[in-house]
Structure 1
Amino acid sequence: MEGGWKQSIVKEVKKQLYLSGPLIAIGLFQYSLQLISITFVGHHGELALSAASLATSFASVTGFALIVGVGTALDTLCGQSFGAEQYHMLGVYSQRAMLVVSIINIFIAIIWANTKHILIAVHQDATISREAGQYILFMIPGLFAHGLLQCLIKFFQTQNRVCGMMLLSGITSSFHAIVCLSLVFKSGLSIRGAALAISVSYWLNVLLLAFYIKFSASLTDTWTGFSIEAMHNIFSFIRISIPSALMPCLKVWSFELMIFLSGLLPNPKLETSVLAVCFNTAQVVWVIPFGLSAAVSTRVSNELGAGRPKAARVAANVGIFMAIAEGLIVALIIVLLRNVWGRVFSNEKGVVKYVETMVPIVAASSFLDGNQTVLSGIARGCGWKKIGAWINLGSYYLVGLPVASVFAFVLPLKAKGLWLGIVAAFSVQILLFIIITIRGNWEKQANKAAGRVNASNIPVAVVSQG
Structure 2
Amino acid sequence: MIIFYNNSAPAAVNSLVTNVAASVLSLIAAWFGADIIAANAIVSGFWRLLWALFWGFGMGTQIRVSNLLGANRPKAARLLSILGFICTVITVTLLALGALVIRADVFRLYTDDEDLLNICASVLPIFIVAFMVEATEMVSASVLAAMGQVHITAWTSALATWLVELPTAYIFAVVLKGGFKALWYSICLMEILKLIVYIFVLRRIDYVEMARVAVKNMEVENDNEGVEGGSAAYSPLPTTVMTPTAA
Q: TM-score, normalised by structure 1?
A: 0.46
Q: What does residue 34 of structure 2 align with?
A: 269
The AA in structure 1 aligned to 2:183 is L
- Tell me what 1:252 maps to: 19
For structure 2, the residue ranges without an aligned partner over 5 or more in a row are 234-247
2:131 to 353, 356, 366: 366
Q: Which residue of 2 aligns with 1:345?
A: 110
Greater relative contact order (Cα < 8 A, sep 6+): 2
Deviation at 1:461, TM superposition (A): 10
Partner of 1:297: 62
Q: 1:432 to 1:460 in 2, by over 3 A?
A: farther
Contact 2:46 2:107 in 1 (8 A): no
Which residue number corresponds to residue 451 of structure 1?
Answer: 216
Q: Which residue of 2 aligns with 1:324?
A: 89
Q: Kindly report which structure 2 residues correspond to 1:57-456, keeping only aligned pairs within 5 A, or say none.
A: 233=1, 236-263=3-30, 265-266=31-32, 268-454=33-219, 456=221
Q: Report which stretch shifted further, 361-370 or 270-279.
A: 361-370
Return closer, same or farther for 1:411/1:392 CA change in 2, 3 Å cut-off: same
CA distance in structure 2 between the partners assigned to 1:321 and 1:246 by the alignment: 30
Q: Deviations over 1:329-348 (max 9, x none)?
A: 11122222213134332233
- Which protein shows a greater Rg? 1
Cα separation, 2, equivalents of 1:395 and 1:429: 7
- How far, CA to CA, are the matches of 1:328 and 1:250 in structure 2? 29
Deviation at 1:432, TM superposition (A): 0.6
**What is the letter of the counterpart of residue 102 of structure 2?**
L
Identity across the alignment (%)? 22
Deviation at 1:249, TM superposition (A): 3.4
How far is the alpha carbon of 1:377 from its aligned partner?
1.0
Describe the shift of the 1:290–1:309 C-alpha distance in structure 2 as closer, same or farther (beyond 3 A): same
CA 1:304–1:369 in structure 2 vs 1: closer, same or farther (change >3 Å)?
same
Query: For 2:93 and 2:20, how far apart are their aligned partners in 1?
Result: 27
Amino acid at match of 1:244: A
CA drift of 1:455 comes to 5.1
Distance 2:14 2:218 in 1: 23
What's the C-alpha RMSD, in Å, of the aligned pairs? Answer: 2.1
Question: CA deviation digits over 1:10-36, x for unaligned, max 9?
Answer: xxxxxxxxxxxxxxxxxxxxxxxxxxx
Determine if contact 1:395/1:425 at 8 Å carries over to the other structure: yes
Q: Choose between structure 1 and 2: higher helix proportion.
A: 1
- Structure 1 gaps of 5+ residues are 1-232
CA-CA distance at 1:269 after TM superposition: 0.5
Q: Which amino acid aligns with 1:450?
A: V
Deviation, structure 1 residue 250: 3.4
Residue 316 (structure 1) shift: 0.9
Q: Which moved more, 1:364-373 or 1:339-348?
A: 339-348
Deviates more, 1:328-337 or 1:307-316: 328-337
Partner letter of residue 23 of structure 2? E
CA distance, structure 2, for counterparts of residue 403 and residue 328 of structure 1: 27
Are the aligned partners of 1:342 and 1:353 in contact in 2 as well (CA < 8 Å)? no
Alignment: residue pair count: 227
